[in-house]
Structure 1
Amino acid sequence: MRERMRTMRLYIADSTDNLRTIALKYEIGIKELICLNPHIIDPLSNIAGQQVKLPPLKGLSDKNVDLPPCTLQLINPEAREQWIPLSSLDEMQHKEYDVLIVGTGAGGGAVLRRLIQQLANSGKRIGVLERGGLLIPTHAQNIETMTSRRVFDYYSSQANYIDNYLSGQIYALGGRTLFWSSTCPRMTDSELLQWPIPLSELTRYYDLAEKALSVTPNFTKGAPLTQLLLDRLQRNGYPDATDEPLAVNLEPPNAFGVMNSNPVFSSVHFLAEALNYPYDLAIHARVVKVLTDQNRCVGVEVISHNKQTFTLKAKNVVLSASTFGSAQILLNSDIEGRAIGHYMTNHSRVLGLGQINRNEFPEVLGPLRILVPGQIDRPYQIQIIGPDNYPWVQYAEQPLREKWSFFLATLGKVETRYDNYVSLDPVKRDKDGVPELNIHFSYSAKDEEVIRLMGEGVKQAAAAMNAALVSDEGPALCQLTIGSDIHEMGTCRMGEDPSTSATNHFGQIHGITGLYVADNSVIPTSGTANPTLTTVALAFRTADEIAKQLK
């Protein structure tokens, strides 16, 4: 009886129903229906609105069904709080890796993704070590509660500064790609022709990098503010001005269930793609030394968050720990090389605040992202971003204003000089016992001239757009502090001559087999372009060389 009640059905009678019509409708014997509903005295009386019990459906047996129990484990008692699979240093110290990647920013993520593509199903063992922990699983701009101001403030709260140099380091999975501007121009051909890689080969790897990062000029496609100001620039002396190329995936989810939930790129995207094949990833794992034997790399020394020291074995090590981090590791490892840590460059910066009249533009403004690239006779790039703090929005509503402001931000080429360098402090040690890094950097007379030219260039660009330069809690035109570009490069620059370069054209440290660098530090000259796209392109090329050696 208990089993029958468990599978019993209920029916609410229609306006013309009685037990006989219900029996005919559901092909139920009238006697069975009367037995189930003793409260209904007359089987022919109208029972509109009343509940009527129906027997179980045919085929659903009242007897126990002899089926095996499901083995699906709904709860994992050993689950850890993590959004990406992690390994422990204790586990990793008992393995020998074909490749160990140090750092998970743009360079490290790119090396991992490309190696996984090239070595899939080869049985090669790849490990990844990240100094920091898990901060956020995507670019901050993809988080719905963020605004441009909130992203900047959150970045500032997480940044670590070295020797009072104004370029915050992010020690977390994904590194600074969690907060970067996503601007992705290529270096100019005139710049690349000075490098130790054929231009045709660099072009091919740029193509691969742009595809991997979903670089597009269409973020501002159809945005009236961008298109009207762009037209003014092109008609008034800046024919090469263009929609800013951004690493933003604008493709919608397709019909096969592929989700595009994180449009703005971070290297977490590379880490996720690589999960199609096995690799080991440890966080809170700071590499402090590279280990070598007879001029060959054999592994690394790692310190965990609880100050335990581990030795990890590897045939190849790729340092992608940042321009400062990779140089610090090499110097602390006593790796010989006159150029290691030297030839540091960055971008000088001048910032202007432009203003336009709202009544000159349509009702809908849209975002403002314009790029004026550097040229041989223009040793700087101009990014035009706005309006105000609304270069992108999720839910924030733009207020009604008579005037709108926007930024004209320049990046100036900085001379490559041996005397700009980083070094280990002879006395000071950080919390892990590693010598602190000292930064020695200044602008040359040539750099100062570029800064002057940038100031004039901002004025000319503003005039070309019929925009005024205005003051708002500061000067209308100003030079930003050294390091504010967050584009430091060159401390492990590539080249053919070991006396003026730390790595060869594949990013391998001169004289040390199996030791590579793949981050901003290998970029040999600053150029005028944001460096991330170039770093990814060079990292892909380095990964291809490593894969070739392993096959």
Structure 2
Amino acid sequence: MILLNTNSSVVKKFPEKVKEFGKFDLSQQINFTDRIIDRLLKSAPPYKLKQISSVLKNLSSTKKSLINSKILSIQKPFHELTQKQREHTFIKWSTSQYASVRKIYKSFTMLICATFWLNPYNFNPDIGYPGADPEANGSRFSSRNFPKYNFLEISDHDSDIKEFDTIIIGSGAGGSVVAARLARMENVLVIEKGHHYDQCDLSTEQQDGYDKLYELSGGMLTDDSNMYVLAGSNFGGGTTIGWSAFMEPQYFVREEWAKNFGLPYFMEDEYGNAMKYINARLGTNTINIIHNQSNQTLIDGCKKLGLHSDNIPQNTASITHQCGWCSFGCKYGEKQSATMTWLDEAKSNNAKFLKNCYVEKILIDKDGKSQKVMGVEVIINNIKRVKIHAKRVVVSAGAIHSPALLLRSGLKNKNIGRNLHVHPIAAVYGVFPNKEIKTYSGTIMSAISNATENVDGENYGAKIVVGSHHPGFMFANFPWKSNLQHKQLMLEYNNIVPLMVITRDREGGRILTDENGKPRLEYKLSQHDSKSMVAGLLTAVRILAAAGATKIGTCQTVIDDYIVENGVNPLNDPKFDQFLNKIKKVGIPTYQTCTGTIEQMSSCRMGDDPNKSAVNPVGEAWEVENLYVADSSVLPTATGVPSMVC
């Protein structure tokens, strides 16, 4: 049996489980179709559901058509094909000349693989993955006290509330800091569209974490379905699901903002002092880092190649924090998220909080010569509509929702929603059969290489890091190429080091709204940024080879893995050079590369010119007095570091 020859620790320890895994037929799993439908209903907006319905209807049609026979290469309804024929068809679709066909391949393989591996009751134990954090309910959790929050209850009789100085929309990295500062002197209300989960509510299981803490249950995609989009949707926002990495914007980024956008503040001592204050408040440090196997491999590979590497400061209250499950909320409260810090400070100064509260629009007084903010109109628990009045409104809903809210509130500035940057991600992996890597465990993102951060000579390029690769996220980053390849890769899971290439994108996308005012994310990777991404991929592959990987794969569908032959140094191997050349030649083709984003910014760009920016240098909307934006959407360009820090 081929799978038994897979060189991994799981195969050596549990050959009988491997046989069971090899025989497994997903089409025979009870209720899997129901789980697929459930995931679609949670994550896909109406217009995408219509697209999927149209594709499925065409694939199941009994009529012979040009589309099915020539474009899709099938002569009868898809469900009537044998298992081998269906697999062969998907493999053919992956290399189709038609982008629409490749889109079907990518969309359905990602949907099926993600749905399968997010389920804790499948084969997760058999590939060596424990599911929930084994320590989740141990003394590390039970010995601690965590901040407790009370939330406003709006009675059925209240439809018009007039009692706040400032309303802050959003509770993440931007809104929480604003709330902490303003609550010292004003009557503040923080509105969050998501739910609040105490530490005891965090199961640390994948599907539960995505359902509770992420936008659209972690299933959001760009408008063309080519990139996955991960964003927080909970009380605490992206800080709840962040990976503890805390890096300040580099000098050249701040200099660009000051010179090109009329924002000298970013080069002044006041900004530096603000960063010092935040670092002290969060206990940011590198002293207490213990690297997990994946991060150490990145460092080791860089050293052997003479490339830059460094430790990433961690916002963990100056303590060692080895928690690989923080992407599903920090069970131990060691990561200094908004709920552990800024929101707790705001609470101590009598700030009020509303959860499960969707802000439909901002109320604006348009009677006078200048427009002034009046408050907000909200829908609570998807049922009750209420108007809440305030002298000032601060929009901190994140780079996806902040521009959407401004647009549906009637603001006309042409820059609202434009210039969206997303730090697009691509990934490579290396297999180390003689090491138990367990990339999901330990410190998540503690090492970095800036070796390719300046690809174009203008400080745009890519950084190389390690991410939080639990099984579901793994298959957002690496493609299904065949049933055998997929099963082999998962059997190697505990021996894999995945490296992420995070690109500082120069060209931007756009946030639009659909017919219901909900955000749509329009983004296509430019040729310029593709070159940066490829440069990062090539360097990441070389790092893995230098570190001793015996097999290396990429996020590109059409490239076969490179296998290191016994006794051969890959850095001196002509076949390895051919592998690198193919990566460069193939590039980042649409629907043939797994790409995504875990950070979004710049969609309400700050600047000194209303023709080039959405808000002025202090974050106030050009069109409306006392309406401010305070989140990553005001950042003028991609930062190249975690945007929630800036």
Range class of TM-score, shorter chain: 0.5 to 0.7
Q: Distance in 2 between matches of 1:421 and 1:139?
A: 38
Query: 1:108 and 2:175 equivalent?
Result: yes
Q: Distance in 2 between matches of 1:470 and 1:150?
A: 31
Structure-1 residue corresponding to 2:361: 289
Q: Distance in 2 between matches of 1:288 and 1:243?
A: 42
Structure-2 residue corresponding to 1:340: 416
Query: What is the one-letter code of the residue matched to 2:220?
Result: Y
Query: What is the one-letter code of the residue matched to 1:97?
Result: F
Q: Distance in 2 between matches of 1:139 and 1:459?
A: 40
TM-score (norm 1): 0.66
Q: Distance in 2 between matches of 1:153 and 1:358?
A: 36
Structure 2 residue corresponding to 1:279, chosen from 340, 347, 351 = 351
SS at match of 2:394: strand
Alpha-carbon distance, 1:512 to partner: 2.2
Structure-2 residue corresponding to 1:214: 283
Structure-1 residue corresponding to 2:338: 267
Q: Distance in 1 between matches of 2:291 and 2:523?
A: 43
Structure-2 residue corresponding to 1:167: 229
Alpha-carbon distance, 1:245 to partner: 2.2
Contact 1:387 1:404 (C-alpha < 8 Å) held by counterparts:
no
Q: Distance in 2 between matches of 1:462 and 1:289?
A: 49
Q: Distance in 1 between matches of 2:250 and 2:384?
A: 46
The 1:512/1:482 distance shift into structure 2, 3 A limit, reads farther
Cα deviation 1:252-280 (Å, max 9, x = unaligned):
9xxxxxxx951023221222232211112
SS at match of 1:521: helix
Q: Distance in 2 between matches of 1:313 and 1:190?
A: 41
SS at match of 1:296: strand
Cα deviation 1:101-147 (Å, max 9, x = unaligned):
0011221112112223xx3xx4x21111111223x22499xx5x536
Structure-2 residue corresponding to 1:298: 374
Contact 1:388 1:407 (C-alpha < 8 Å) held by counterparts:
no
Q: Distance in 1 between matches of 2:294 and 2:614?
A: 45
Structure-2 residue corresponding to 1:423: 512
1:490-505 to structure 2, matched below 5 A, reads 490-505=602-617
Structure 2 residue corresponding to 1:137, chosen from 192, 198, 205 = 198
Query: What is the one-letter code of the residue matched to 2:637?
Result: T
The 1:346/1:472 distance shift into structure 2, 3 A limit, reads closer
Q: Distance in 2 between matches of 1:444 and 1:223?
A: 34
Contact 2:212 2:234 (C-alpha < 8 Å) held by counterparts:
no
Structure 1 residue corresponding to 2:543, chosen from 448, 452, 461 = 461
SS at match of 1:382: strand
1:110-509 to structure 2, matched below 5 A, reads 110-116=177-183, 119=184, 122=185, 124-134=186-196, 136-138=197-199, 146=204, 151=209, 158-159=217-218, 161=220, 163=223, 164=225, 166-195=228-257, 196=263, 197-200=265-268, 201-221=270-290, 226=295, 230=299, 232-234=301-303, 236-239=305-308, 241-251=309-319, 261-269=332-340, 270-293=342-365, 294-356=370-432, 358=434, 369-373=446-450, 375-377=453-455, 379-384=461-466, 404-417=495-508, 420-425=509-514, 428-429=515-516, 435-471=517-553, 484-509=596-621
Structure-1 residue corresponding to 2:120: none
Structure ranking higher in helix proportion: 2
Alpha-carbon distance, 1:192 to partner: 1.4
Query: What is the one-letter code of the residue matched to 1:376?
Result: N
Contact 1:386 1:405 (C-alpha < 8 Å) held by counterparts:
no
Cα deviation 1:369-408 (Å, max 9, x = unaligned):
311136434711111358988xxxxxxxxxxx99832111
Query: What is the one-letter code of the residue matched to 1:167?
Result: V
The 1:381/1:472 distance shift into structure 2, 3 A limit, reads closer
Alpha-carbon distance, 1:525 to partner: 0.8
Structure-2 residue corresponding to 1:87: 152
SS at match of 1:172: coil
Query: What is the one-letter code of the residue matched to 2:613?
Result: S
Contact 1:284 1:305 (C-alpha < 8 Å) held by counterparts:
yes
Structure 1, unpaired ranges of 5+: 1-81, 253-259, 390-400, 430-434, 535-551
Q: Distance in 1 between matches of 2:304 and 2:295?
A: 14
The 1:169/1:242 distance shift into structure 2, 3 A limit, reads closer
SS at match of 1:301: strand
Alpha-carbon distance, 1:206 to partner: 2.2
Cα deviation 1:52-92 (Å, max 9, x = unaligned):
xxxxxxxxxxxxxxxxxxxxxxxxxxxxxx95111134569
Contact 1:138 1:266 (C-alpha < 8 Å) held by counterparts:
no
SS at match of 2:376: strand
Alpha-carbon distance, 1:307 to partner: 3.0
Alpha-carbon distance, 1:329 to partner: 1.0
Alpha-carbon distance, 1:153 to partner: 7.9
Q: Distance in 2 between matches of 1:409 and 1:306?
A: 38
The 1:183/1:148 distance shift into structure 2, 3 A limit, reads farther
Query: What is the one-letter code of the residue matched to 2:360?
Result: V
Q: Distance in 2 between matches of 1:530 and 1:500?
A: 24
SS at match of 2:248: coil
The 1:404/1:290 distance shift into structure 2, 3 A limit, reads same
Contact 2:429 2:499 (C-alpha < 8 Å) held by counterparts:
yes
Rg larger in 1 or in 2?
Answer: 1
Q: Distance in 2 between matches of 1:151 and 1:175?
A: 13
Q: Distance in 2 between matches of 1:228 and 1:436?
A: 42
Q: Distance in 1 between matches of 2:528 and 2:443?
A: 35
SS at match of 1:331: helix
Structure-2 residue corresponding to 1:56: none
Q: Distance in 1 between matches of 2:272 and 2:200?
A: 27
Q: Distance in 1 between matches of 2:454 and 2:200?
A: 34
Alpha-carbon distance, 1:502 to partner: 0.6
Cα deviation 1:441-497 (Å, max 9, x = unaligned):
212221121122122121232244344453499865896968722212111011111
Q: Distance in 1 between matches of 2:427 and 2:200?
A: 25
Contact 1:187 1:529 (C-alpha < 8 Å) held by counterparts:
yes
Contact 1:383 1:408 (C-alpha < 8 Å) held by counterparts:
yes
Structure-1 residue corresponding to 2:62: none
Query: What is the one-letter code of the residue matched to 1:324?
Result: I
Contact 2:399 2:632 (C-alpha < 8 Å) held by counterparts:
yes
The 1:306/1:159 distance shift into structure 2, 3 A limit, reads same
SS at match of 2:256: coil
SS at match of 2:615: coil
Q: Distance in 1 between matches of 2:512 and 2:220?
A: 15
Alpha-carbon distance, 1:317 to partner: 0.7
Query: What is the one-letter code of the residue matched to 2:511?
Result: V
Q: Distance in 2 between matches of 1:402 and 1:287?
A: 42
Contact 1:343 1:421 (C-alpha < 8 Å) held by counterparts:
yes
SS at match of 2:428: strand
Structure-2 residue corresponding to 1:33: none
The 1:442/1:387 distance shift into structure 2, 3 A limit, reads closer
Cα deviation 1:177-231 (Å, max 9, x = unaligned):
3222222222221111111233234332222222333322245347687557525
SS at match of 1:298: strand
Contact 2:373 2:627 (C-alpha < 8 Å) held by counterparts:
yes
